[in-house]
Structure 1
Amino acid sequence: MATKDLAGLRKEFTRGGLAPENLAADPRQQLQLWLDEAIAVEHPEPNAMTLATAGADGHPHARVVLLKGLEEGGLVFYTNYQSAKGQEMAENPWVSVLFFWPLLERQIRVGGKVQQLSPELSDAYFASRPRASQLGAWASPQSEEVSAYEVLEQRFREVEERFKGRPVPRPPHWGGYLLVPDWYEFWQGRPGRLHQRYRYVPSAPSGWRLAVLAP
């Protein structure tokens, strides 16, 4: 099979520009605005974000998770605490996330530290999940090696029987994280690869300073 010319694949970005004066003073408001616009155009998985972590060994790993809330202090997502990413965040709480919305020719990068949400908040979100997802959180030893997919199916059936006829409680190894950002970066594609990049960094005594970055 012939290999496609990957080096020749490129897309010219032609949507409107992004002037600094049109950006919100607070990056959280700007993130909410762009997220709302991605939802409005029915972008596939608009709340999907690539989460990058690194454990004590310094080796980076990335995977896609779903943003589940924008709280006062930052970005909320949920996962298995005993998964590979959960273990890495326990060893090193510094992470970054990336949103990519190609239909809007936009990216957002956010970096900061994570902290676990309270059990009460994790309980409330877990209770809102579909029952199959609740059962899956009990059945899957996330990131661990299993001998065959059928093992997972059997575990699911066992958990399904265990909780038959009653609510599924949140597993103690599953819950939420809050990413508290210390920087945000907004990227808008432009013709000629002169993309526009704006980074928000903390500015004393309170607030944010906007920096223009070369693409």
Structure 2
Amino acid sequence: MTDTATTLGGDWDFDPQHTRIGFSARHAMITTVRGSFNEVEGHVHADLEDMDASHVEITLKAASVDTRTPDRDAHLRSPDFFDVETYPDITFVSTRVEEIEDNAYLVTGDLTIKDVTQSLSIPIALSGVERDAFGVVRAGFEGTRKVNRRDYGLEWNMPLDSGGVLVSERITLEFEISAVKREAVVESAAESDGGPEAEAVPQPDATAEAS
């Protein structure tokens, strides 16, 4: 745990260009439709020596939903589903972060969609930590969790002649996260000359890397 704690300890920001937070649902009971949110913001404060101090916050812009079908996306933005004009943000704010085994965590928090907030626990696995070609330290996280969309007021559906429904009520949430570590504050060379005590290391633009 010590090596992981040293590597992961600190503050991380999601890189939206290399992060996918999405979902999948059964359509007409026979196929799977997948979508994601193109506008994602997230922050992680990790302290594996004191897990109670760890914290995760995520914000998705509901209007950025993308299933690669414009008509379907317009329907998802409508009051039948996300009602993005009234409720522009989908948010998740953690209330507890637990390490359940090496490189595996259970993040419990409040998921808010529209005007409904429900507690949700999401299993998340650390897929690796690397310094990229731009000198940026990145951590990868992945996870999935099934939810019932009706629990969040997403109730629209159409019955099928077979007795099924057009859109499944059980939805799989999908998390593929690339997080960039904030640069640490280091001692300035000017300190010995009576100058400022510290300065931040310049951080490369994490989004400059090609996809």
Same fold (TM over 0.5): no
Q: Structure 1 length normalisation: TM-score? A: 0.26
Q: Which has the higher helix share?
A: 1
**Which has more strand, going by share of residues?**
2
